[in-house]
Structure 1
């Protein structure tokens, strides 16, 4: 599955995102609207993590999902 499915099911996926990255607000997730690059940017902003680490974390999270 590719990231397009995440974008298409964003309302359902937002809860899973908040479980993983609880510092993200509902407003953050509304702005992200399923766009991976924006999600990574918000995670960087809230957690102060380097871009490469965020990308790895998102990849890891994505791989653990039961789609």
Structure 2
């Protein structure tokens, strides 16, 4: 399903590090992304952050596009 497809401006390893800088509660385990595993990642983060999947997806993409400026 395309609604889970992340549109990132940087490779995932870089985005993952930016996300950890913005939200220090997130771990490597929380941010593990396997090929085709966007849905699982978004569901896991949605539960941990107590936000909707849509909000988490928007947040990840904004951090990616803003190079870590988004909060």
The Cα of 1:24 is off from its aligned counterpart by: 1.3
Question: Structure 1 or 2: larger helix share?
Answer: 1
Q: List structure 1 runs of 4+ shifted beyond 6 angstroms.
A: none
Change (3 A) 1:20 1:38: farther
TM-score normalised to the size of structure 2? 0.55
Unpaired segments ≥5 residues, structure 2: 1-6
TM-score normalised to the size of structure 1? 0.57
- Structure number with the bigger relative contact order (C-alpha 8 A, sep ≥ 6) is 2
Tell me the matched-pair count: 61
